């Protein structure tokens, strides 16, 4: 998985609440414009509000629920 593309997707999800909602509700549609393999799409499709922060944190981002709109 391209770390650059992955970070771009995660950053967009952090900054764009509408995109984040689409990523959780219809990941194939949200990821349609990105150059990802089927396995990468499947991995990202498994993200939800409960595991998003953990996944983003695993990329070295400083993303926490406190940074997300409506987060703790």
What is the pLDDT confidence band of residue 60, given thresholds at 50, 70 and 90? low
Residues 5/12, Cβ–Cβ less than 8 Å: no
d(CA 52, CA 31): 15
pTM (2 decimals)? 0.72
What is the DSSP code (8-state) at residue 34? S
Q: What angle do CA 49, 50, 52 make, to 5 degrees?
A: 65
> Could you identify the residue written with the tokens 């509700």?
25
Q: Which pLDDT belongs to residue 65?
A: 42
pLDDT tens for each residue of 4-58: 888 899 999 989 999 999 999 999 899 999 999 888 888 899 988 888 888 887 7
In this prediction, residue 72 carries a pLDDT of 40
């Amino acid at each position: 998985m391209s770390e650059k593309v992955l970070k771009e997707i995660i950053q967009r999800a952090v900054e764009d609440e509408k995109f984040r909602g689409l990523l959780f509700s219809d990941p194939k549609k949200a990821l349609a414009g990105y150059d990802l393999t089927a396995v990468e799409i499947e991995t990202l499709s498994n993200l939800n509000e409960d595991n998003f922060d953990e996944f983003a944190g695993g990329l070295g981002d400083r993303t926490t629920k406190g940074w997300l709109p409506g987060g703790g």
